[in-house]
């Protein structure tokens, strides 16, 4: 009898050891939940957390627009960068003439350069980075700071802790006698601009002069405010929702959106936004400007 007792005890300890360190060390969600919550608790308290829905995403990819919500962002090491992973969210495969990607810089990370003749815009979403634009000329960019790097300009972005930046790149469309300059600044230093017929607040992060073939708009909406114009235009957009939530109309569909979402809008896709909820919306928007569509 005592030997059976010892055997059962050893078996129990063996199972415990396996569960702690071995191949079954990941606790099953089911067993954890059933331990902590009464039977059918979830049915009576349905989750609103999208991560809990197997296979569900708000992302959509259509002919002339895409909504790419965070649960479907896929990161992989960025070519030529050190200790940095990136998620390309908009690229020419969709029909855009630019790329938009999120880069997550880790400890001791460093950027690679854009391709030849490609200009780059960076905007810090989390953490801080050091941008060097010439020997001995460096800037610390914190959240809400940004920089524009003209095509073929040597520069490096370095981080010693962690940072997330959103990056736009496009092959520069030159115009005779116009040369874009490098630029470092922050959103809060940009003046509010007139928006005739609209209620949202608008800041432009780049100069409006002809040297620049795109601009980045920062648009602020109070809850309940919406675009007056149901826009249809030749320009392309890459959008990152920085704060808040609302409904985005894209072509014939209306999508609930929130901070972290990215939207690709092809030329001429009908677009409209209404800010909802209790907090204001801020979004950042790429828009090609100053060049003839021909
Ligand atoms: O300037 C714009 O085209 C901007 N108002 N579009 C947008 O917010 N979807
Ligand atoms: Mn627009």
Secondary structure (H, E, C), 85-131: EEEEEECHHHCCCEEEEEEEEEEEEECCCCCCCEEEEEEEEEECEEE
**CA–CA separation, 106 and 112 (whole Å):** 14
Give the model's pLDDT for residue 19: 36
Give the model's pLDDT for residue 34: 52
Q: Is there a contact between 150 and 181 (Cβ–Cβ < 8 Å)?
A: yes
Q: Which residue is it, tokens 């009898």?
A: 1
148 bridge partner residues:
121, 183
Probe residue for ligand 1, chosen from 67, 193, 233, 271 as the CB with the greatest number of ligand atoms within 8 Å: 271
Q: Is residue 201 lining ligand 1, measured as CB closer than 6 Å?
A: no
At 87, the pLDDT band (50, 70, 90 cuts) reads very high
Give the model's pLDDT for residue 285: 98
Q: In this prediction, what percent of the chain has a pLDDT beyond 90?
A: 82
Q: Is the pLDDT of residue 22 over 90?
A: no
Q: What count of other Cβ atoms lies within 10 Å of the Cβ of residue 43?
A: 7
- Please tell me the pTM assigned to this model: 0.86
Q: Is the pLDDT of residue 13 over 60?
A: no
| Shortest-distance Cα residue to atom 9 of ligand 1 | 271
**CA–CA separation, 205 and 118 (whole Å):** 19
At 44, the pLDDT band (50, 70, 90 cuts) reads confident
Give the model's pLDDT for residue 39: 87
Give the model's pLDDT for residue 284: 98
271 bridge partner residues:
231, 250
Complete DSSP assignment for 15-53? HHHHHHHSTT-SPPHHHHHHHHS-TTHHHHS----GGGS
Give the model's pLDDT for residue 27: 41
Whole-number Å distance, alpha carbon 233 to ligand 2 midpoint, is 7
Q: Is there a contact between 255 and 67 (Cβ–Cβ < 8 Å)?
A: yes
* pLDDT tens, position by position, 247-291: 999 999 999 999 999 999 999 999 999 999 999 999 999 999 999
96 bridge partner residues:
none
Q: Is the pLDDT of residue 18 over 80?
A: no
* pLDDT tens, position by position, 100-137: 999 999 999 999 999 999 999 999 999 999 999 999 99
Q: Is residue 198 lining ligand 1, measured as CB closer than 6 Å?
A: no
Give the helix, strand, coil percentages of the chain, each rounded to 5.
15, 45, 40
Q: Is residue 285 lining ligand 1, measured as CB closer than 6 Å?
A: yes
Whole-number Å distance, alpha carbon 214 to ligand 1 midpoint, is 13
Give the model's pLDDT for residue 54: 86
**CA–CA separation, 8 and 157 (whole Å):** 60
The residue among 173, 144, 139 whose CA lies nearest residue 156 is 139
Higher pLDDT, 41 or 88: 88
At 224, the pLDDT band (50, 70, 90 cuts) reads very high
Q: How many whole angstroms from its chain centre is CA 136?
A: 31
Q: Is the pLDDT of residue 149 over 80?
A: yes
SS3 (DSSP) at 284: strand
Q: Is residue 204 lining ligand 1, measured as CB closer than 6 Å?
A: no
At 24, the pLDDT band (50, 70, 90 cuts) reads very low
């Amino acid at each position: 009898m005592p030997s059976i007792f010892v055997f059962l005890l050893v078996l129990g300890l063996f199972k415990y050891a396996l569960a702690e360190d071995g191949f079954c060390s990941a606790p099953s969600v089911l067993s954890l939940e059933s331990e902590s919550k009464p039977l059918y608790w979830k049915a009576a308290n349905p989750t609103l957390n999208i991560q809990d829905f197997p296979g569900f995403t708000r992302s959509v990819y259509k002919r002339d627009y895409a909504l790419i919500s965070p649960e479907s962002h896929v990161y992989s090491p960025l070519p030529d960068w050190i200790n940095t992973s990136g998620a390309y969210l908009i690229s020419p495969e969709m029909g855009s003439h630019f790329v938009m990607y999120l880069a997550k810089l880790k400890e001791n990370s460093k950027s690679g350069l854009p391709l030849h003749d490609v200009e780059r815009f960076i905007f810090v979403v989390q953490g801080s980075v050091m941008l060097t634009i010439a020997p001995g000329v460096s800037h610390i960019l914190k959240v809400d700071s940004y920089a524009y790097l003209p095509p073929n300009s040597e520069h490096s972005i370095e981080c010693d802790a962690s940072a997330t930046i959103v990056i736009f790149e496009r092959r520069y469309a030159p115009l005779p006698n116009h040369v874009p300059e490098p630029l470092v600044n922050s959103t809060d230093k940009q003046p509010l601009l007139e928006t005739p017929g609209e209620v949202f607040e608008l800041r432009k992060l780049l100069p409006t002069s002809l040297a620049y073939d795109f601009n980045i708009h920062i648009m602020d909406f109070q809850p309940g405010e919406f675009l007056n114009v149901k826009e249809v235009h030749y320009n392309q957009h890459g959008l990152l929702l920085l704060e808040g939530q609302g409904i985005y109309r894209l072509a014939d569909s209306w999508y609930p959106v929130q901070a972290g979402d990215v939207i690709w809008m092809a030329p001429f896709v009908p677009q409209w936004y209404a800010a909802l909820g209790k907090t204001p919306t801020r979004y950042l928007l790429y828009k090609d400007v100053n060049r003839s569509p021909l």
